[in-house]
Structure 1
Amino acid sequence: DIGDIVRGRDLYRGYDDEEKKQRDKLEKNLKEIFAKIHGGLDEEGKDHYKDKNGGNFFKLREDWWTANRHTVWKALTCDNRLGGYSYFRQTACAGKTPTQGYCRCDGDEPKADKQNVDPPTYFDYVPQYLR
């Protein structure tokens, strides 16, 4: 899943050589992105996220995902460019109803921000091998 890929923990490496090449390319790009993020940190941040694992920046990736998971999930579930993809929208509200209006459940609106009615991120807490 997206969170596992960002954090560098994805168990799925692909079935064929072409898919494995795509995964390797994605991982290389993520390493470059997080190297740039690391380069933009102050000295304390650079020291905290110092990479001892060949440019993977696992701690930085983990913290970035924790800070941005809701924004990423909203983009995945609410963006109009994904309008034809019904899985998240159709099952987002506890599997009972699709998201409505503002891509939220139970009639929530952006300024109201009712608790626990935004598109769910609970998929991210289930270990990948159980999904």
Structure 2
Amino acid sequence: DIIRGKDLHLRHEPGIQHLEKRLERMFENIQNKNEKLKDLPLDEVREYWWELNRDQVWKAITCDATMKDISSKNIRDAKMILFHYNCGHHNDKAQTYLDYVPQYLRW
């Protein structure tokens, strides 16, 4: 969401403007080094980069979790704990639908 410029929560964080400016500079550099991106608006350059790199980002997020890697989560005040093997990631492919589901529906 941050890379794609769609994070809902960071808008209210104190450092977001600084982060956003750094991301803009980064994507401007990518745009300037790639001839076919020169005429695209910056938000489309971000989407282009995301499509090319999402699988690598997914691997970095999941840290190549194995079956023995378990994540758990308390559900509000209940004592229920959910366990997810492979840290909840059952294959090495990025879950393509998650980054297009509105952020508030994923949590």
TM tier, shorter chain?
0.5 to 0.7
Q: Alignment partner for residue 30 of structure 1, among 23, 30, 52?
A: 23
Amino acid at match of 1:46: K
The CA RMSD over aligned residues, in Å, is 3.0
Please name the residue that 1:92 is paired with.
none
Correspondence 1:2-17 to 2 at 5 A = 4-12=1-9, 13-14=11-12
In the alignment, structure 1 segments of 5+ residues that lack a partner are 15-19, 52-56, 81-85, 88-94, 106-116
Alpha-carbon distance in 2 for matches of 1:96, 1:120: 20
Is 1:45 matched with 2:37?
yes
Q: TM-score, normalised by structure 1?
A: 0.56
Is 1:21 aligned to residue 34 of structure 2? no
Letter in 1 for 2:3: V
- CA change 1:22–1:118 in 2 (3 A) is same
| Counterpart contact for 1:39–1:46, Cα < 8 Å | yes
How do residues 113-128 of structure 1 correspond to structure 2 at under 5 angstroms? 117-118=91-92, 120-121=94-95, 122-128=97-103
Aligned residues: 91
| Higher share in strand | 2
Structure 2: which 5+ residue stretches go unaligned? 66-70, 73-81
Normalising by structure 2, report the TM-score: 0.67
Q: Hey, what does 1:98 align to over in structure 2?
A: 85
| 1:26–1:79 CA distance, 2 compared to 1 (3 A) | farther
Give every structure 1 segment of 4 or more consecutive aligned residues whose post-TM-superposition deviation is greater than 6 Å.
none
Q: Percent identity?
A: 44
Of the three residues 28, 31, 52, the one matched with 1:67 is 52
> Is the 2:54–2:94 contact (alpha carbons within 8 Å) kept by the matching residues of 1?
no
Cross-structure match for 2:78: none
